[in-house]
Amino acid sequence: MSTQDWATLSNQAVAAATVVFALGWLAHLSEWAFGRRVDAVAPARSEPAMVAAEGYAPAVVLPAPAPPASQRSDFFGRAGLSLTVLAFLLLLGGVFARGLAAQRVPWGNMYEFATTGLLVATGVYLVLVRMAGVQWLGAIITGFCVLVLGLAFLVYVPAGPLVPALHSYWLVLHVSAAAIAGGAFAVGAAASAVYLVKSRAEQRTPLDARRGYLWRLPSSAAMDRLAYRVNAFGFPIWTFAALIAGPIWAQYAWGRYWGWDPKEVWAFITFVVYAGYLHARATAGWRGRAAAVLGLVGFATFLFNFVGINLFGSGLHSYAGV
């Protein structure tokens, strides 16, 4: 296949992934909608235990069938997760084909970084679904993917070679580390956002009024721990990308390690915010709303560095193309 064929295949795969992500988002929204009619699962004594406690012979008790709303909610949840896996595979194929079309690593401009970053974010989410059962983040993750991929097509750049200054193995190390950290920060921000909703509901909703999908999710404390662990995973990787690999590459490309370029400044701001988040969480005992808000602020600085500086800023990084 020619490079143009690979470029066309990449565009088609990314477009198909966007459509499948949208279908997955709708499926997860349906999961939430049907889950609104389902009571929260409350621990109760089973019938065999009650019979044994009263001195009767234990009996085999068949589980009560789940209500129709619960069955529909679970069905759409499984469908949304399956569609997310399919979209991940399509996006993986699109990123791989883009690399073959450009004959280099496929993260040399804003469009390519968006597709690669979302690929990593979705991969982190799917790994955590397997390891920690975080499928309750599906609606936020798939909705975020649809939004970013839609915006990525607005800044599409045809596959092609890079300017000489970007021809360095530091491109692989610096940008790939930033993408991995960004994927972790995205999952952490999603967990923090759901935490704020769940913690507020826990404080304001009486026990006998807790109905709906929100009460089938883990406790707000578990969400807070998840956000902390994911952000703690992404922070050292971001530190390497922004403060180690980036300056070394800048010395190679521009003859200086640090020049207060707008993207460098905002990368440092992101580092400071997440460093403050982790430090306060670990030493000052910041848990709950304050930590969640600070984590969301950190992700906002990351997004502004990625979107705002690229589109509205200027500096040495601008020649990489949007």
Show the 3-state SS of 154-197.
Answer: HCCCCCCCCCHHHCCHHHHHHHHHHHHHHHHHHHHHHHHHHHHH
- Alpha carbon 225 to chain centroid, angstroms: 16
Residue with tokens 């595979």: 89
Q: How confident is the model at residue 26 (pLDDT cuts 50, 70, 90)?
A: very high
Cα gap 34→185, rounded to integer Å: 29
Distance between CA atoms of 209 and 203, rounded to whole angstroms? 12
Enumerate residues 6+ apart whose C-beta is below 8 A from 319.
163, 165
pLDDT digits (tens, 9 = 90+) for 213-230: 888 888 999 999 999 999
How far from 146 is each of 20, 25, 90, 251, 319, CA to CA, in Å? Answer: 9, 8, 14, 36, 27
Question: Of 167, 58, 54, whose CA–CA distance to 103 is shortest?
Answer: 167
Give the per-residue pLDDT at 72: 87
pTM for this one?
A: 0.84
| Tokens, residue 256 | 């200086």
Lowest-confidence range among 14-28, 118-132, 163-177? Answer: 163-177
**What is the chain's alpha carbon radius of gyration, rounded to the nearest angstrom?**
23
SS3 142: helix
Mean pLDDT of the chain: 84
- Find the mean pLDDT for residues 183-203: 93
Neighbours of 174 (CB within 10 A): 22
**Confidence band, pLDDT 50/70/90 cuts, at residue 57:** very low
Give the C-alpha separation, 231 to 292, whole Å.
11
Mean pLDDT for the stretch of residues 29-52 = 59
pLDDT in tens, 58-81: 444 444 455 566 788 889 999 999
Q: Please count the other Cβ atoms lying within 10 Å of the Cβ belonging to residue 129.
A: 18
Mean pLDDT of 244-255: 84
